[in-house]
Chain A
């Protein structure tokens, strides 16, 4: 079946502009995660959505970052007033709940802030 998809695959933006990154999780997966991966680094947790519960935003690096998940499905990560240090690959993952489960990752969006 279809996996996790993300769009755009690449985004180049000028410093100070806002960007929106989209994630379409696997149908039926109630858990959704956003991570950030800078060049040569591990995965940095950003935010986690689980069903209708309040999201865990503890990983968001600043108030310029926000995320929404509409209808328990599609999620959008928004970065306002982008800075050069925001340049990274942004990865989305989804998972089922109820029992041990694996995360399924999307291909990521490579964001470059010039």
Chain B
């Protein structure tokens, strides 16, 4: 019952920007968008999250549409080490029960 949809796979040339889309058309007003990635044989790793404003950190940028029904994770200069499965999830903010459901994510292949 994942609340997001993502393309199953994408390719990106090394050094170019990788733009990973996510649809979350049923997102509620108090739900944040979170992105994680999972490199082969490792546990998922947090990347970034946002509510409605665009966010940037040392790993990536997150662009959220004005209606909040979709978002894009941007890796500005993809490297081979960015090859991973990227998960987009939505979750409510503070307090209470916070069950999280992961979908199958987008498998990003960075090509030399």
Contact = CB atoms under 8 A, between A and B. Distances in A.
Interface in B17-56: 32, 34, 36, 42-46, 49, 51
Interface stretch (B60-68, B69-77, B98-106): B98-106
Given A93-B43, A100-B49, A107-B43, A56 B101 contact: no
Interface residues of B, number: 24
A103 interface: yes
A100 B100 CA distance: 12
Contacts, number: 60
A48 B102 CA distance: 14
A93 B101 CA distance: 13
B87 to A, nearest CB: 8
A65 B98 CA distance: 21
B43 A108 contact: yes
A46 to B, nearest CB: 11
Interface string B91-112: 1011101111111110000000
A91 B99 contact: no
Nearest to A42: B104
A43 to B, nearest CB: 4
B44 A43 contact: yes
Given A56-B99, A91-B43, A99 B49 contact: no
Interface of A: 4, 31, 33, 35, 41-43, 45, 48, 50, 53, 56, 91, 93, 95, 97-100, 102-108
Interface of B: 32, 34, 36, 42-46, 49, 51, 87, 91, 93-95, 97-105
